[in-house]
Amino acid sequence: MSGKIPAVLVVEKDGAVVSQNRVARRLLGKKTGQYCWDVVGALEGAEGLPCQRGCVMRLLAAGADNSRHTSFRYSGQLHHLSCVPVDSTVVCSMALGADDTPERWQTLTPRECGVLELLADGETTASAATYLGISEATVRTHVENMRAKLGVNTRAAIVASGFRLGYLD
This prediction has a pTM of 0.58
Backbone CA torsion sign across 43, 49, 53, 54: negative
Alpha-carbon distance of 39 to 22, in angstroms, equals 15
Averaged pLDDT of the chain: 86
Q: What is the pLDDT of residues 117-142, one digit of tens each?
A: 999 999 999 999 999 999 999 999 99
| Mean pLDDT across 13-34 | 92
What is the homologous superfamily of the domain 7-96 according to CATH?
PAS domain (3.30.450.20)
Backbone CA torsion sign across 47, 51, 52, 58: positive
Q: What is the pLDDT of residues 46-64, one digit of tens each?
A: 888 889 999 999 999 987 7
At residue 104, the pLDDT reads: 64
Q: Is domain 104-164 annotated with CATH 1.10.10.10?
A: yes
Indicate the pairing of strand 7-12 with strand 17-20: antiparallel
Give the residue extent of every domain in the chain.
Answer: 7-96, 104-164
Which residues partner with 70 through β-bridges? 81
Alpha-carbon distance of 48 to 74, in angstroms, equals 9
